[in-house]
Amino acid sequence: MILIDYKSRKPIYEQIIDNVKELIVSGVLERDEQLPSVRQLAQELAINPNTIQKAYAELERQGVIYSLKGRGSFVGSSLNELRSVQQAALLEEVAQLSGVLCQLAVEQETVCAVVREAYQTQREAKNHD
Amino acid sequence: MIEVKGLSKKFDQIQALQQVSTQIQKGSIFGLIGSNGAGKSTFLRLLAGIYRPDSGEIFIDGQPVYENEALKQKIFYISDDQFYFPNSNMEEMARYYATIYQQFSFDKFEKLTQLFRLDKKRKLNTFSKGMQKQAHIILALSCQPDYLLCDETFDGLDPVMRQAVKRLLAEAVLDQQLTPVIASHNLRELEDICDHIGLLHQGGVIFERELDHLQSNIHKVQCAFTAPKQRQDFADLDIVTMEQQGNLSILVVRGDSQRTEACMKAMQPLYYELLPLTLEEIFITEMEVLGYDIQQLIY
C-alpha cells in the first residue's frame, strides 16, 4: 500500500509520513482503519524497521494515527485538519504558478479561464460518478 | 551496545585509526562509510576482537571484546574475503560454526539454504563470488549473533539477493534485536537500510549521526537573483560549499529546511529551490570540506 521511491531525494522517513497522509486525505485509508504493521512494511519494502517505527511515532505525535497496545496502528480522526493543510499547500502552489505566469506576461484573464475550465471539468466528472 | 573510546591502531608506520570514539546502539543498523583506506576494515576487525587495540577501549554490552570468548559468541564478522576450509561445503562449515556458536540453529540454516536455493553439499570453492557471500550470510544468521559486522558484504550480490538479505536483516532486527554494522561504498543502498551513519576519514570519525537527522539538516539550494551574489551576501546561512554559474547560485547549506527557506524568501530571489541531499552528495560535500575532492584528484 505504501510505496517508497528509492530514487527520490526525500528521506524514506519523510516519504512514509507523507504517503500515509496522502492515503488518508484521498480516502484510501478510512478512519479507524488499521495500518500495515512495522514488520509487514519492513518486509515488503526491505527497509529498516526502526525508520518505520520512527515515522509512525511522528504520525502519532501529529495526531494523524493512534496506536493500541499489542494491536497496531490505526487511522485517527484528523482528516479535516490534514485536508486544510493540503489545501493551503496547494493554494500556495497556485499562487506561485500565477506569479511565474505573470512574469511570462500571460494575461490574468487567460490564467483565470484555465483555472475555471479545469475546475469545471473536474466537478462534472465527479458528478458523473 | 557498542562503545568505542579513544581507539587507536597502528601497523608499523601506518596509523590506521586514531582516537576513534563512537557509540552504536543495540537494535540499530549502523552504516560505516569512508574514503578508501580510511580504516573501515580495521575498525570492524577491532570490533570483532581480532586485533588488539594499541590504545583506547572497546566495550560491547559493557565488556572488553579482545580475547573475550564468551562475548565473541554474540558477534559474527563477515570478512571481505570469506574463509572456508579447503574443499569444504556449506554443511561442513555449518557444523564447524555450530561447535563455536552455541546458539547455532540448524533449523534456520536449512530454511535459509532453501530460501537462497544453495546446494549445501556443493563445494564452496566451486561457488561464484556472490554465492560465497550468500553462503556466509546464511552461516552468519544461523549463528544468531547479537552483532553482525559486514565488510562490503552486499557488494557482489545480485539485486534480488540484496533485497532478500535486507529483508532478513530487517526481520532479525525486529525479532532478535540484531545490530548490523555495515561497511560499504554503496551509499544508495545504505540509505535504504541504515538508521545511523558513521563517516571515517584518515583513521578518524568525522561524524556519527542519525541518518534522518543528517539528511534533514543539510540542503542543496539553487537560486537566481537579478545580480550575481557573493558568499558574504548569504550571511544568515551556514554555507558549506558555494558554486556560481552566471546569475545562478548553487549552495549547500546546513540547517533545517524551515530556517533555510525563510532566509531564502527574505532575500527575494527570482527563483529558488530547496533539495534534500542524498547520502552520496553528503559524503562528497563533507569530503570536499576535508580537502579530499575530485578537483584535486583530477589536477
pLDDT tens for residues B105-124? 999 999 999 999 999 999 99
**Interface ipTM > 0.85:** no
CATH 3.30.70 matches B217-298? yes
pLDDT of A100-127, one tens digit each? 898 899 999 999 999 999 999 988 887 8
Determine which helix (DSSP H) or strand (DSSP E) holds A73, and give its type and residue range: strand A72-75
pLDDT of residue B89: 94
CATH class of the domain comprising B2-211: alpha beta
Q: By percentage, how much of chain B surpasses pLDDT 70? A: 98
pLDDT of residue B297: 53
pLDDT of residue A78: 74
pLDDT of residue B170: 92
- Range name among B11-15, B64-68, B137-141, B292-296 with the lowest pLDDT average: B292-296
Q: Is B119 on the interface with A (CB under 8 A)?
A: no
CATH topology of domain A12-77: Arc Repressor Mutant, subunit A (1.10.10)
What are the sequence ranges of the domains in chain A?
A: 12-77, 92-128
d(CA A6, CA A12): 8
- Considering only CB atoms, which chain A residues are within 8 Å of B28? 50
Nearest residue, CB atoms, B216 vs list A11, A38, A51: A11
- Considering only CB atoms, which chain A residues are within 8 Å of B276? 9-11
pLDDT band of residue A129 (cuts 50, 70, 90) is low
pLDDT band of residue B299 (cuts 50, 70, 90) is low
How distant is the alpha carbon of residue B171 from its chain centre? Answer: 19
For chain B, where do the domains classified as CATH 3.30.70 start and end?
A: 217-298
pTM of this prediction?
A: 0.83
pLDDT tops 60 at residue B1: yes
- Considering only CB atoms, which chain A residues are within 8 Å of B219? none
Min Cα separation A52/chain B (Å): 10
Tell me if B195 and A47 make a contact (CB, 8 A cut-off).
Answer: no
- Considering only CB atoms, which chain B residues are within 8 Å of A39? 171, 174
pLDDT of residue B298: 52
How distant is the alpha carbon of residue B265 from its chain centre? Answer: 36
Nearest residue, CB atoms, B195 vs list A14, A46, A51: A51
Mean pLDDT of chain B: 90
In this prediction, residues A71-93 reach a mean pLDDT of 85
pLDDT of residue B296: 56
Nearest residue, CB atoms, A6 vs list B28, B192, B277: B192
pLDDT of A30-77, one tens digit each? 889 999 999 889 988 889 999 999 999 999 998 899 999 888 999 987
